[in-house]
Structure 1
Amino acid sequence: MISFYQPYRSHHQLKAGISYSYPPMETLLLAYQSLGVVYGDLGTSPVNVFSATQLTNLSEDDLIGTLSLIFWALTILVLIKYTFIVIHADDHGEGGTFALYSQLCQHINIRSKLAIQSCMKGEPDDGPVYYGGSGGQLRAKAKKFIENSPGAQNFLTFIVLLGTCMVIGDGTLTPATCVISALQGIQSVSPKITQDHVVFMSAVLLIVLFAFQHCGTNKVSFAFSPIMLLWFATNTSIGIYNIIKYHPSILRAISPHYMVKFFIRNHKTAWDLLGAVFLGITGAEAMFADLGHFNKRAIQLGFCFVVYPSLVITYAGETAYLVRYPEKITNAYYSSIPKAVYWPMFGISTLAAIVASQSMISACFSIVKQSLSLECFPRVKIVHTSSKHEGQVYCPEINYTLMVLCVGLVIGFKGGVELANAYGVVVIWVMIITTFLTALVMLLIWNTNILLILGFFLPYILIEGFFMTSLLRKIPQGGWVPFAISVILFAVMISWTYGSSKKKEYEAERKMALTELDEMLSVSYMYRTPGTCFFFTDLVNGIPPIVRHYIQHTGSIQEIMVIVTVRTVPIKTVPPEERFSVQKLGVKGAYRCLVQFGYKDSQNVGGEECVSSMIARLQEAAESSGEKQKISSATQRGVIFVVGRTILKANGQNGRFSRFTINYLYRFLQKNCRGAISTAEFPLDKTLQVGMLYEI
């Protein structure tokens, strides 16, 4: 019996690169590459933070308190939380909110109608489970509560989809904001350069960047890594120069009591400043989402030994300069650069801003790829750009959609304060969602001590909640933009998730049994057409109802009928001897075949080589020589490929939400997106598409 729930496993996995354990030299190389992609957003933060404070006449104590805020935000929220805790909550090398949700669903029986179906366990685990101690009892109660509460399951799905949409929404703002903020520095040296010129240059740079994405993360990171290394090196050098020249004792700001004194002294002003400080840590969520492009050790090495110390020294250097010249705070970064190196640093900062854009673009590709794997996003084309790393992907539809949105935001807002206010607003919500899901992973999967879980969850919820209250005031002043984009994406994802769930539910309830298929094929008026029919379906188990629909309305079926399911597994390539799994259905001339491809395999299912291999495996599964001869004879008489196309319709018994979602949103998406087996290649002259209406 073929189990369609079991993940692909073989001794070829290690050779194919599914293992995420790398030798030291390759890890260092990946760390070097990750500087060019993963840390772009974090790395260009010095351009934005002090300029975004919009505060003037700050005293020395105020500036030291601000630096203390930035230092501890970087240390607590990025270094400790993401680099050493959250990064370990990956799902087979993939990061992001979907990875956290996928892990939970592998250990919990999620059965709600809105559940992401691909994460669901194949069979419920009804066996007794012992959880020792008081902590074990809490885990057992939490697991039981979630499994028995559709509301809790729907809430999990809701926040995961919302968090994912927010990351993509912020991904449209990061390229627009980073590029235009970097180019605006040129206006300080030439009054002839207007804001319209800056907007035009930003739009051109963004178009070039998005056009470059098809080359793949591997090549992009190799091109950008030297830029980021130069960026970190030059910023660190200038930071050290400013510290020594203007205020050598500025590093005392690492003491948290300066941060506390700043809040006591400034109250609401300090609270307002949190929104600007948060700009210094946006990109942490992209670092986790980009995990599939590299590996944990590489990201940890790159951040701990290059990014983190560089950012701390750069911020300290800017603060030291502002202690001497506080009136320069509105253009802190460019003002603190020595005039002799101003133009080289302008060029480097512009290129670094482009890299910052790349970090969010690649994160969006990773998120969409995960969404497709979990069947909660309309099908789009995914191109794997690396033969070594399964997570390095490119999505042309998403790429050009992001390009249009980014260029539109640059032209629409013209680099005004609204665009700056919108930048990073939704990221805090993603961080809060990540904290919540990570705590659940720690409780239900890692079996972490309850005190450690509380030590993680409570402080981070409080800190991030405090940042969130400051960032909320930016929503009316431009922060609504990423929320609007997120709402649109959420409507798309929740519609597709709900529609896919209802479709699978319909097929599971109405799938054919072998006895029913046997009866239909045994009636006297059933005509067995000469030839072989490959009937393609994405139903993981059982015979789909569309087969019944096809037989009933044609009154015939080919001599040999093979129900084929095509699946892409997370390795580079599947060896030919392991690509096909064939099962005889027990009905005369009926078989089932599972075809597995690696992400770099050509999925030419209709090609002569693939068809010949499937026929050979069918003959191996045949029980007699006569049956083998019949398969060979039927193939010589002709082969056709039947592809099912289902249409959902919600009847009047459903509620308004269900009718609107299914009849309008889901059907519109289904009509305009790629088919379930769109990556497969079929000869057009031998392909038949069969439609069926699913009335739910």
Structure 2
Amino acid sequence: MTSDGEATGGGHRQGGAGHQTGTVALALGALGVVYGDIGTSPLYSLKETFTEESHVMTIDRINVFGACSLAFWALILIISVKYLMFVMRADNKGEGGILALTALVGRSNSTGKKAGLLVALGVFGTALLYGDGIITPAISVLSAVEGLEEVSTSFTDWVVPIAVIILVGLFIVQRRGTGAVGRVFGPVMMLWFVTLAIVGLSKIIPDPGIVQSINPYHAVKYFTHEPKKAFLSLGSIFLVVTGGEALYADMGHFGRKPIMFGWYGMVMPSLVLTYWGQGAFLLKSPDDIESVFFRMVPESIVLPIVILATMATIIASQALISGVFSLTAQAVQMDYLPRIKVVHTSSKHYGQIYVPLVNWLLMIGCVGLVIGFQTTSNLAAAYGIAVTMTMAITTLVFYRVLTDSWGWSNAKAMVVCLPMLLIETGFLGANMVKIPHGGWFALAVGVVLMVQMQTWRRGRSLVAKRIHRGEVGIRKFLDDVEEMTRVDGTAIFMFKDSDKAPPALVNNLEHNKVLHKTTLIVSVDTADEPRVPAGERALITRIAPGVFQVQLRFGFMDEPNVPATLRQIDHPGLEYNDDQVTYFIGRESIVAGKAPGMNPLAEHLFVLLNRGADSAVRFFNLPTDRVFEVGSRVEI
């Protein structure tokens, strides 16, 4: 998921030492944004592998070596191979993430039901990430605060209240932006990863035999030792790679090379060392499994480590929250969600945004999960299934990109994607067991949001068809009113199709019998790429004296600021003065009717979503004192 820390992948090409310095700086920034989720997994993943109620594992040499081997190879095959080697090459003009990947399928030569199904799967994968955005902050913060129980048992009753206070505080400060504190995210996470490595090494050095778990033979032996429990434990082992999607989603902010540099130079070695260290520690102290990470630490520094862990989980949570904000903005721009209020918290970095409605819904969800599940062990049952499904969907969509956009043969694409899918299917199968124990939550969030997204997109398509029915072309319409009286000023008619006569223009002429000296028919489209350069956003066509068609194109990561874009237009005969402009926009009153197109439930849902949508005035940054709205009734 994209988050704070604006720096696009294409903007860092320097030469020599400057390039290396830039890569290192971006890699440090990526530590605080990209790797927060995967970096806090050591707090609970190996513990849950052995203690999850559905598969309580015996802590012996075979199981410990097997679990450590699986953790190592999951990091290699899913993160290093799938994402860094392959998927991150499928960028959409530098932007990553499942929604951007789905857009690639949408604009390829894919047609028919198969392409439609893949796009629908991509939308479902996007919807599932919202569930992840609720669960990750809850489980991350709770797992860190539980470390206080190692400081004193008197903290036991305070774990949940403290976690709730931290989460509420985190969501409250979102409206202020994260520009200031964001500068310390990277250094804090670097300290966290160094700590993971040191703590792990302190247990590996006395018992270096655990390094043998690099041999996949131990993973195979793990499944033959306790087959049923071993399979079920995959749902917990998968927790070591949650956050893998973030590497791909945040590619637009940091670029592929800095993310790879951070992974191989710091993150992966630290994670491997800490998991191996936990394994070596468990072989000597199996009774410490309930809080394996914190009990590896000398008692004298447990409290500082708990504080550092809490800071790391807050940073991980912030990255997920910012990512959900960014994902929402993308979905709105691509017309998968209704217009929603988006606040830009930085005048310098567009990527730093705040979405009030989403923020409060996330807070309610996170706090509700902490209060409802009480412990990390209980909450772990709800975690994993959404991420596993999203990863599997990413593989399916990536396969289509390989064959349609990259021109690979089906056989060649299958060689790459089939092993990925088999691994993820195994993890998904194990996670399915979690559905009755909490996994249903993430699925419910995903299904509800997918229904909303598909309903909104279908509804908007039907509304456009109803509005356009019976319309006359703008050129023919102007021929009929060529001798119309002209008045001073500029009239801007916002309409989806600039080739048609906007209803607001038709109504204005019927009632007022005048046409402004300068008249613009402005349409706004969202491109299937993240950003459109400022100089390429406007296409102007003169269709009559003083009358212009203006087609504006914004990327799905751009802010659709219409007045600012129009001010930059330099075209003969087109004058734009803020003090002499009047914007005419349509406001449709949508009602459910008997016309074919949507089932009754979907119609009523769409009507409800439309009523709650943010106004076009605010969405397009129009000056409220210069807007004239023209209402119309549309039956779907």
TM-score (structure 1 length as normaliser): 0.81
User: Partner of 1:10 in structure 2?
Assistant: none
Q: Which deviations, in whole Å up to 9, do the C-alpha atoms of 1:70-117 show, x marking residues without a partner?
A: 111111111111122111111112211111111122222xxxxxxxxx
Residue 3 of structure 2 corresponds to none
Pairwise CA distance, 1:510: 4.4
1:565 aligns with 2:507: no
The answer for the alignment partner of 2:488 in structure 1 is 531
Report the equivalent of 1:689: 629
1:642–1:277 CA distance, 2 compared to 1 (3 A) = same
- Corresponding position of 2:4: none
Quote the offset at 1:531 in angstroms: 3.5
Corresponding position of 1:198? 159
- Segments of structure 1 that go 5 or more residues without pairing to the other structure are 1-15, 109-145, 623-630
CA distance in 2, matches of 1:218, 1:255: 44
CA deviations over 1:2-51 (Å, ceiling 9, x no partner): xxxxxxxxxxxxxx978344332222211100100110010011101122
1:356 aligns with 2:316: yes
Q: Distance in 2 between matches of 1:152 and 1:517?
A: 41
1:250-269 matches, within 5 Å, as 250-269=210-229
Which residue of structure 2 lines up, in the alignment, with residue 35 of structure 1?
Answer: 31
Counterpart CA distance in 2 for 1:496 and 1:364 is: 19
Residue number in structure 2 paired with 1:288: 248
Q: CA deviation at 1:651?
A: 3.5
User: C-alpha displacement at 1:223, in angstroms?
Assistant: 1.8
CA contact under 8 A between 2:592 and 2:607: conserved in structure 1?
Answer: no
| Structure 2 partner of 1:661 | 602
Q: Secondary structure at the match of 2:323?
A: helix
Q: Pick closer, same or farther for the CA change 1:563–1:405 going to 2, 3 Å.
A: same
Shift of 1:192: 1.8
Distance 1:218 1:453, change over 3 A: farther
* Match of residue 260, structure 2, among 297, 300, 307: 300
Shift of 1:398: 2.1
- Contact 1:365-1:395 within 8 A present in 2 as well: yes
The alpha carbon displacement at 1:452 in A equals 3.4
User: What is the CA distance between 1:574 and its match in structure 2?
Assistant: 3.5
Tell me if 1:185 matches 2:147.
Answer: yes
RMSD: 3.1
Q: Is the CA contact 2:142–2:376 (under 8 Å) kept in the aligned structure 1?
A: no
How far 1:482 moved relative to its partner? 1.2
Q: 1:474 aligns with which of 423, 430, 434?
A: 434
Partners of 1:249 and 1:579 in 2: how far apart? 61
Q: Residues 44 and 690 of structure 1: is their aligned pair in 2 closer, same or farther, counting only changes over 3 Å?
A: same
CA 1:220–1:494: 2 relative to 1, 3 Å? farther
- Shift of the alpha carbon at 1:567? 6.6
Give the Cα–Cα distance (whole angstroms) in 2 for the partners of residues 227 and 327 of structure 1: 31
Quickly say closer, same or farther: Cα 1:636–1:248, change in 2 above 3 A: closer
Residues 207-246 of structure 1: per-residue CA shift (max 9 Å, x gap)? 222234345565444221111111111110111110112x
SS of residue in 1 equivalent to 2:81: helix
TM superposition shift of 1:665: 1.7
Counterpart of 1:423 in 2: which secondary structure?
coil
| Secondary structure of 1:422's aligned partner | coil
Shift of 1:513: 1.2
Name the aligned partner's letter for residue 58 of structure 1: I
Q: CA deviation at 1:566?
A: 5.2
* Residue of structure 1 equivalent to 2:583: 641
CA distance in 1, matches of 2:69, 2:83: 20
The Cα shift of 1:554 comes to 2.1
Correspondence for 1:124: none
Listed as ranges, the matches of 1:444-459 within 5 Å are 444-459=404-419
What is aligned with 1:592? 549
Contact kept in structure 1, 2:498 and 2:550, CA below 8 Å: no
Counterparts in 2 of 1:685 and 1:33: CA distance versus 1, 3 Å:
closer
Q: Which amino acid aligns with 1:660?
A: L
Verify: 1:67 aligned to 2:68, yes or no. Answer: yes
> Identity over aligned residues, as a percent?
32
2: distance between equivalents of 1:29 and 1:637?
45
Shift of residue 416, structure 1, vs aligned partner? 6.2
Residue by residue over 1:569-611, the C-alpha shift from the partner in whole angstroms, topping out at 9 and shown as x without a partner, is: 9669836xx876543213x553323467898989473x9x967
Cα distance in 1 for partners of 2:463, 2:182 equals 40
In structure 2, how many angstroms separate the alpha carbons of the residues matched to 1:521 and 1:234? 75
> What amino acid is aligned across from residue 26 of structure 1 in structure 2?
G
Q: In 2 relative to 1, CA 469–686 (structure 1 residues): closer, same or farther, beyond 3 Å?
A: closer
Which residue of the other structure, out of 301, 324, 327, is the alignment partner of 1:367? 327
Deviations 1:43-74 (A, max 9, x none): 01110112212135421121111111111111
Distance 1:685 1:326 in 2: 70
Q: Note the C-alpha offset of 1:434.
A: 0.4
Q: CA 1:159–1:216 in structure 2 vs 1: closer, same or farther (change >3 Å)?
A: same
Name the residue aligned to 1:343. Answer: 303
1:411 is aligned to 2:341:
no
Q: Which deviates more from structure 2 when the two are superposed, residues 274-283 or residues 685-694?
A: 685-694
Greater radius of gyration (CA): 1
| Residue-by-residue CA offset, 1:637-667 (whole Å, 9 max, x unaligned) | 9653212112344532416x444323x2222
Partner of 2:503: 546
Separation in structure 1 between the aligned mates of residue 84 and residue 372 of structure 2, nearest angstrom: 36
User: How many residues matched?
Assistant: 616
Asked whether the equivalents of residues 140 and 313 of structure 2 are also in contact (C-alpha less than 8 Å), the reply is: yes
Cα distance change on mapping 1:381 and 1:191 into 2, 3 Å: same
SS of structure 2 residue aligned to 1:437: helix
**1:318 offset after TM fit, Å?**
0.5
